[in-house]
């Protein structure tokens, strides 16, 4: 796989499955079956490209191609930018180089770079060779940055003006910059292109025509380098309530090379959230795309086998305490409850920590604070569950000693599982691994083993002492 193909394969577009999209796909299929291109073209004319994109999720590949071939260049550009990656990759195989060049000319450079990233090196060069030199250069420049960095998601369609320019000159520059997209600000630069400040559109439009940009601009600009991780870019957007974030080659005070806009970062947030949820389920975010059951099974198999191996340890623990269980058979009735509650508590703690690490609310440098909060939380949860289960156990066995065993077993198991669920993701993050990977079935199974081991160990000791 080439570098650009790798870049494309790891950039996922998250689509929402809608009931009306399924109905729309059925209507499109009826028109396709009727073999009346003119009628289908008229039907598509009344649809928004976003609705066509959603409907394509429920069409067969040959049907998607037939629909796409009927779209005009403007519609095709919007649809190609929004379809899921698997559909896009298949469509790219059937589009001529000339049509692709026309489509890319209608897309912003950052979105065009994502499309080109899905082509083979030979096809990409042929298509870029058919485009205007400036547009092709912009796309090549964006492809040089890492796929998960500010440079990889930024747009170069921004408006920059000299800080010595007047308001009237800035407005003229604004009007001439027809390739700019999502314009919220005008960026003030010096003669060498170094970012000096930013002027919001309202300030620019209401200023006197002779006012200098350096007098209107805000010199305190938040910036990031092109190598900044896209997840960190998302944190900055959220922390400072931004709608756009300049990207400069050197922070601070570097040359302005691009701007990350709010719509770019929404895609990033969706992508990161999808990956976290998929990892926590012991799966893979690629399952969100068009994969066969066999491919999905291969993705899940390692996790299932790891879980199976760890759960076998629980069987060994139970066998080790066979004598205790034989003597106090009622203990077996409470084992599934304690195992489930401790496992779920640990997984909840892991989910909270992973989310905190992702949003920046949990910092590794303040791990003691995060651990302390989780310990207090699980102490309350564990104490409440243990009290209820202990009372039930005492009434059931008609001995307070048995209730005490159940109470302590539940309380210690839940709290230890909560500590494990809190610490393991932070250790993974510190070691450079994805913490979501440790919070799936593997960790749940591990916490099951802990819960059963603690419960049976306490039961063996306490029941021996009390009897």
Q: What is the CATH number of the domain that holds 378?
A: 1.10.357.20
Tell whether 67 and 211 lie within a shared domain.
Answer: no
Residue 14 in any domain: the answer is yes
Tell whether 458 and 327 lie within a shared domain.
Answer: yes
| Predicted pLDDT of residue 3 | 41
The CATH number linked to 167 is 3.10.580.10
Residue 277 in any domain: the answer is no
Q: Chain-centre distance of CA 437, in angstroms?
A: 14
Residue position matching structure tokens 């589009």: 95
One digit per residue, the tens of pLDDT, for the chain of length 467 reads 344 333 433 343 434 445 678 888 888 888 887 667 788 888 888 888 888 888 888 888 888 998 999 898 988 988 888 887 778 888 888 888 899 999 998 888 888 888 888 788 888 899 999 998 988 988 888 888 887 889 988 988 889 999 999 999 999 988 888 777 667 899 999 999 999 999 998 999 999 999 999 999 999 999 999 999 888 898 888 888 888 999 999 866 789 999 998 877 877 776 666 666 555 555 554 444 555 667 666 766 776 677 677 667 777 777 777 776 676 777 777 777 887 788 788 878 887 887 777 666 777 778 888 888 888 998 999 899 989 988 998 888 788 877 888 888 888 888 888 888 888 888 877 876 666 655 555 566 666 676 677 777 777 776 666 66
Helices 230-240, 262-280: axis angle to 10 degrees equals 120
Tell whether 203 and 243 lie within a shared domain.
Answer: yes
| Predicted pLDDT of residue 360 | 67
Cα(118)–Cα(54) distance, integer angstroms: 20
Tell whether 118 and 191 lie within a shared domain.
Answer: no
Q: Are 406 and 385 in contact (CB under 8 A)?
A: no
Tell whether 387 and 428 lie within a shared domain.
Answer: yes
Residue 455 in any domain: the answer is yes
Dihedral of the CA atoms 197, 199, 203, 207 (nearest 10)? 70
Tell whether 198 and 340 lie within a shared domain.
Answer: no
Cα(177)–Cα(167) distance, integer angstroms: 15
Tell whether 305 and 441 lie within a shared domain.
Answer: yes
Boundary-marking domain end, from 86, 117, 144: 144
55: Cβ–Cβ under 8 A, 6 or more apart, which residues? 21, 22, 24, 25, 28, 47
Strands of the sheet containing 195-200, edge to edge, are 159-162, 185-189, 195-200
Cα(61)–Cα(204) distance, integer angstroms: 49
The CATH number linked to 109 is 1.25.60.10
Boundary-marking domain end, from 82, 114, 144: 144
Domain count, the chain: 3
Which of 213, 218, 219 lies closest to 170, judged by CA?
A: 213
Which of 276, 234, 247 lies closest to 361, judged by CA?
A: 234
| Predicted pLDDT of residue 12 | 38
Boundary-marking domain end, from 116, 144, 172: 144
Residue span of the structural domain in which 224 resides: 159-262
């Amino acid at each position: 796989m080439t570098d650009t193909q790798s870049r494309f394969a790891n950039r996922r577009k998250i689509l929402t499955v809608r009931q009306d999209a399924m109905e729309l796909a059925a209507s499109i299929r009826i028109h396709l079956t009727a073999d009346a291109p003119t009628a289908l073209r008229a039907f598509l004319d009344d649809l928004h490209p976003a609705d066509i994109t959603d409907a394509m999720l429920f069409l067969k590949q040959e049907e998607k191609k037939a629909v796409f071939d009927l779209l005009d260049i403007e519609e095709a550009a919007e649809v190609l930018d929004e379809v899921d990656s698997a559909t896009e990759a298949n469509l790219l195989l059937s589009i001529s180089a000339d049509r692709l060049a026309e489509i890319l000319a209608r897309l912003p450079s950052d979105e065009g770079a994502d499309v080109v990233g899905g082509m083979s090196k030979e096809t990409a060069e042929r298509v870029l060779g058919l485009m205007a030199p400036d547009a092709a250069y912009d796309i090549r420049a964006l492809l040089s940055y890492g796929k998960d960095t500010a440079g990889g998601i930024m747009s170069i369609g921004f408006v920059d003006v000299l800080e010595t320019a007047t308001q009237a000159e800035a407005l003229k520059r604004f009007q001439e910059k027809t390739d700019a997209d999502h314009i919220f600000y005008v960026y003030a630069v010096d003669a060498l292109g170094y970012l000096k400040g930013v002027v919001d559109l309202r300030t620019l439009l209401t200023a006197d025509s002779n006012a200098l940009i350096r007098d209107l601009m805000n010199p305190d600009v938040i910036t990031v380098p092109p190598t900044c991780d896209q997840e960190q870019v998302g944190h900055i957007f959220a922390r400072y309530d931004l709608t756009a974030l300049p990207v400069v080659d050197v922070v601070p005070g570097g040359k302005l090379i691009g701007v990350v806009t709010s719509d770019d970062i929404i895609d990033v947030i969706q992508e990161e959230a999808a990956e976290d949820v998929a990892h926590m389920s012991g799966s893979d975010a690629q399952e969100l795309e068009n994969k066969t059951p066999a491919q999905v099974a291969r993705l899940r198999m390692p996790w299932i086998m790891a879980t199976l191996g760890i759960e076998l340890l629980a069987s060994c623990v139970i066998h080790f305490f066979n004598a205790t269980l034989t003597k106090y058979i009622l203990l077996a009735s409470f084992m599934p409850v304690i195992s489930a509650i401790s496992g779920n508590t640990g997984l909840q703690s892991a989910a909270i920590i992973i989310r905190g690490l992702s949003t920046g609310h949990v910092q590794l440098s303040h791990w003691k604070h995060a651990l302390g909060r989780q310990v207090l939380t699980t102490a309350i949860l564990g104490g409440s569950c243990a009290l209820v289960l202990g009372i039930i156990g005492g009434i059931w066995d008609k001995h307070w000693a048995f209730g005490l065993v159940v109470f302590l077993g539940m309380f210690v198991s839940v709290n230890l599982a909560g500590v494990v669920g809190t610490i393991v993701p932070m250790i993974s993050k510190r070691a450079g691994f994805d913490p979501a990977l440790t919070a799936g079935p593997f960790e749940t199974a591990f916490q099951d083993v802990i819960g059963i081991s603690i419960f049976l160990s306490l039961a063996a000791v306490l029941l021996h002492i009390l009897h």
